[in-house]
Structure 1
Amino acid sequence: MMHRDEQARDRRYGRYLVLILVGLAMAAGRIAVVTSREGDTAFLSANDRSRWATVASLVEDGSYEIDELIEIRGAKENRRPWYSIDMVRHRGNDGKLHYYSSKPPLLATVVAGVAKGVYFCTGLTLTKQPIYATRLILFFFNIPILALFFATSIANIERLTRSNWSRHCLSLGVIFGTMLFPFAMTLNNHLVAAAFTSLVVWIYMFASEKNDEHVGDVSVFVPKHWYGIAGFAAAFTAANELPALSMCVFWFFLFRWIDKRSVLPFIGGAAIVVIAFFGTNWIAHKSLRPAYAHRGVGAAIEELGTMPELPAIEAIADVLMSNKIISGGSKLELEESDEPSRWLVRSSDDQLFALIRNDSGRWSLSYWDDWYEYPGSYWKEGRRRGVDVGEPSRLVYLFNMLIGSYGIFSLTPMWFLVPGALYMGLFHGPHDYRRYSMAVIIASVVCLLFYLARPTIDRNYGGVSCCFRWVLWFTPLWIASIAPVVDHMAQTWRRRGIFIALLAFSVFSVSTALNTPWQSPWIYQFWSFLGWIGG
């Protein structure tokens, strides 16, 4: 006969399953009708178009170059449905200049595998059927990723709480209360990073619980391959969200503290991602640095001395020929650069160099390494618009980042519980959970300071999106942090009411972005309507 606790647990699991299926069905429904504003593709923004162009090029041409894709014309005059502002330009394997996505190529390479499978099964290609092929690929990629996030996050809640009320309310929060849900209808890195973070949290909580019973600091419950999966998931999160590298390091030590056997499997799992990340980047760009890191000048070639005016083009040619960089038949062109005191030197065989003048009037010649500066680039000074201009005031940026128009707390009021929950986590619960809380505190602060310290051009709240999307990968970390607090709030009706209100307002924000995540937050739109900020 089944024990009463087992019956209650089975009923909870049944409710969880229903919630998950409803959430997945809603996401699948949105994917089934997702269409661009112009109605000729299922791409929703420059951000996802950049990745889709790479996916299509890999599947149909076997290349990371997207030149042909961005020139495709739509039904409307002058409409280029594949064109994106998230592009870079540099010399390819053939020695000519080509356009590429500015996004790290690993995720697009993985999605290209799914796209290849869709092609083999249906014959649909992204260039010929940009609506239906896109929707199928999104379904087979995003829905399993979203299911992973739902299942592991709810499993973490089940492990960290005791009250059925808190479990059910937090489960609703996981499904409908975070700004991650709108991103399920578009190709992006945030959903992937959050899902794999949730998987690491689940493995950590599982391993911590099992290691309460051990012999000689050696776990007898957790198979080593789980630590390998944790290392892979932590590294894959960092591959999709660079600031998550800090948490990846913390995960290594957190697992090491609970089980010494985790070291080698964790490193092995992470190594797979490291090799794949840098390998695909090298194949795509012949560089170990991601495309977005190429924003300046490369290695120095030679000092040209001090002179009041621009050096003669003949003198520059002599320097390049003497260093055997260009041939005698090459011709050079000198162009003004977007950056002050810098000029672009271009050879007839598409080699690029930077002519630089320092404050003392000395001239030098270096290799060109600004992949974002090309004809028509959106990122040139004076071309950026709206939030992409960048917020000059760090104080204003911090305000809007936390409780303002793009606020972490104002858009998802559930997160108001996070600071107190993390503080309480330092002093309550098992040592493993306390160490976890400390790691999440440090990672959260480091991440926020990282974005706050960025130059003006990068202080843009993540561009036009429904939230401050760069911290979405923290979602499962913060859910696990507030779980014990919500469990405590379940003890009185007043506290329950407070959490329900926070959850309701969080769901409200999510509902405003169900049409597309690539829109300004509802608070930003409302403040623009009131005239408080520029529209």
Structure 2
Amino acid sequence: MEPESPGRGSLPPRSPSRRAVGQILIVASVALALGATLKQKAMISANDISRWCTVWSLLERGTYAIDECPWQLGTQDKVLLDDPFPAEGEAPGKHFYSSKPPLLPTLIAGLLYPIRTITGVPLDAKVEQERSLRKEVQSLDDAPPDDPGKILEVDEQRGYRVIDVTPEEPAEWPVQVLYFNPVVVLLNVLPLLVALVLYARLLDRYAGNDWAWFLSLAVAGLGTNLIIFTTTLNNHTIAAWSAFFALYAFLRIWDDGRRHWGDFAAAGAFGAFCACNELPSAAFGVLLFLLLLVKAPGKTLTVFVPAALVPIAAHFLTTYLAIGEWAPVYAAFSEEGPDSPYRYPGSYWLSPLGMDWYDLNPEPWWQYLLHLTVGHHGILSLTPVVLFSFWAMLRSMVGLDRRLRPFSWLTLVLTVGIIAFYTWQTHNYGGSTQGARWLFWLFPFWLILLPLGLEAGQHRPLARWLMLAAFGFAVFNTGYGLHQPWSHPWIVDAMEHLDVLDVKR
């Protein structure tokens, strides 16, 4: 039986070894994410292109319609809708809109608006660079170039000529990288840095020994799918960072007895913003509200609730401004017929390929559940170190470890509920993506429980080697997917090469 954790104020100072190793791990993890993000192309998938199209349309055309965006042909994540606000006396025309919730692109457009205004450079502009001279050796038997000026040297004895093959068209590189990559750094890499620093503080409280402290921080920095997705614009990492910041504030209130208004504001705002980016995580926001209402009803009603209403109101307002409806457009994904916003003539969704093929040819629910958990898109198969989080959760719930017991129940309810929801509602594993991306916002819950499950490695060699093996597999998964988050996990690729899985191309 483990004793209750002491209050934060009674914790001893962090040891020199923890300070040193913590700094090394945090710097290494953030530097890796930063380098990979800056090297990454600004637009690498239909998913992020869809959001960037909305950003472009807002800044360049002042509309949510993406018809004129030069990149919209590169995304199938769009819908065809009537203009929600046609000019007076005009019939509404059909326009393409991103199928992604408009709140995040609207916020990004707001961030870029001052820069776009000051520079006057369009987001789709290209910088031209004159080509340098290059030479090619050509046989004299070949026809000479049309322009004699292209001949730089002739060697009759050896039978060759040297010609200028420098292309007349200039080289081009897109300006968008100067707009978009800093946004991804701001939304993904910077929150990763803050989250790791705060996670180390949680480890000071919940990690019972150095082994658990060191390995948990290494997993958080290098061994989850969140690191893979730091390089691309997406809603999943943003939801995960928001969930972590809400949980950090929650634990300060619940376990430390703090009643500072800032903790309640952070819990409310980040909990609600998590739901705005992953709508099923609204269950987390509701449970967070109910738990804090029991603990501190006054501050919850006067601080938590108003803070939560800000992102919620922004979500509904931007949705209405974009499509003239309060409900998100992807609620109509399953609609059939000619009026379906997804299934217009020529739409990708009329004959989807890859993992999307399963939308029209669903697997049995038990098979889908198997692959979401321990199969080719499984959280436990791709990041097996999470098994130790579940072990800690079960120990806590049955009373073998009294630490984080209410939090363990919260994690169990959300994990089971969210997996059940997606097993019931979806069929395609999130498309071409490194892992079951809809579950990524749960990683902060599992990471907070992780040190309790790793403590046995301090004194038990077998447990230590099992933990290292699980950690190694998780980091391997990170390395495999870091270059292209919007691609199949290594297990899918292996199964396809072995002819075990038929991926439609």
What TM-score comes out, normalization by structure 1 length?
0.77
Residue of structure 2 in register with 1:528 after alignment: 496
Is 1:417–2:423 an aligned residue pair? Answer: no
Q: Secondary structure at the match of 2:96?
A: strand
Contact 1:425 1:481 survives alignment (8 Å)? no
Q: Secondary structure at the match of 2:97?
A: strand
CA deviation map 1:285-327 (0-9, x unaligned): 1100001013477xxxxxxxxxxxxxxxxxxxxxxxxxxxxxx
Contact 2:50 2:72 survives alignment (8 Å)? no
Residue of structure 1 in register with 2:471 after alignment: 503
Residue of structure 1 in register with 2:236 after alignment: 190
Residue of structure 2 in register with 1:319 after alignment: none
Residue of structure 1 in register with 2:46 after alignment: 46
Residue of structure 2 in register with 1:240 after alignment: 277
Q: Secondary structure at the match of 2:255?
A: helix
> 1:204 Cα shift?
1.7
> 1:109 Cα shift?
1.1
> 1:494 Cα shift?
2.2
Deviates more, 1:178-187 or 1:125-134: 125-134
CA deviation map 1:211-255 (0-9, x unaligned): 2xxxxxxxxx43123102101111111111111111111111222
Picking from 327, 330, 341, the partner of 1:371 is 341
Q: Secondary structure at the match of 1:131?
A: helix
Structure 2 Cα separation of the partners of residues 445 and 106 of structure 1: 28
Amino acid aligned to 1:238: A
Amino acid aligned to 1:58: L
Contact 1:114 1:140 survives alignment (8 Å)? no
List runs of 5+ in structure 2 lacking aligned partners.
1-10, 87-91, 126-174
Structure 1 Cα separation of the partners of residues 282 and 502 of structure 2: 35
Contact 1:88 1:102 survives alignment (8 Å)? yes
Residue of structure 1 in register with 2:298 after alignment: 261
> 1:407 Cα shift?
1.1
Structure 2 Cα separation of the partners of residues 152 and 254 of structure 1: 22
Contact 1:27 1:185 survives alignment (8 Å)? yes
Amino acid aligned to 1:188: N
Contact 1:199 1:233 survives alignment (8 Å)? yes
Residue of structure 2 in register with 1:400 after alignment: 371
Contact 2:66 2:72 survives alignment (8 Å)? no
> 1:31 Cα shift?
1.8
Residue of structure 1 in register with 2:138 after alignment: none
Q: Secondary structure at the match of 1:203?
A: helix
> 1:530 Cα shift?
0.4
Picking from 111, 127, 130, the partner of 2:108 is 111
Picking from 218, 221, 226, the partner of 1:172 is 218
1:3-402 equivalences under 5 Å are 8-9=14-15, 11-35=17-41, 42-69=42-69, 72=70, 83-92=74-83, 93-94=85-86, 95-119=92-116, 124-128=121-125, 129-211=175-257, 221-264=258-301, 265-295=303-333, 339=336, 344=338, 368=339, 370-380=340-350, 383-390=351-358, 391-402=362-373
> 1:426 Cα shift?
1.4
> 1:498 Cα shift?
1.5
Picking from 454, 474, 483, the partner of 1:515 is 483
Deviates more, 1:392-401 or 1:421-430: 421-430
Deviates more, 1:133-142 or 1:510-519: 133-142
Residue of structure 2 in register with 1:463 after alignment: 431
Number of matched residues? 434
Contact 1:145 1:191 survives alignment (8 Å)? no
Residue of structure 2 in register with 1:350 after alignment: none
Amino acid aligned to 2:499: G
Identity %: 29
Structure 2 Cα separation of the partners of residues 45 and 393 of structure 1: 28
What TM-score comes out, normalization by structure 2 length?
0.81
- Compare relative contact order (CA 8 Å, sep 6+) and give the higher one, 1 or 2: 2
Structure 2 Cα separation of the partners of residues 197 and 28 of structure 1: 22
Amino acid aligned to 2:345: P
Q: Secondary structure at the match of 2:33?
A: helix
Q: Secondary structure at the match of 1:89?
A: strand
Is 1:494–2:500 an aligned residue pair? Answer: no
Structure 2 Cα separation of the partners of residues 85 and 256 of structure 1: 43
Q: Secondary structure at the match of 1:98?
A: strand
Change (3 A) 1:251 1:7: closer
Contact 2:343 2:349 survives alignment (8 Å)? yes
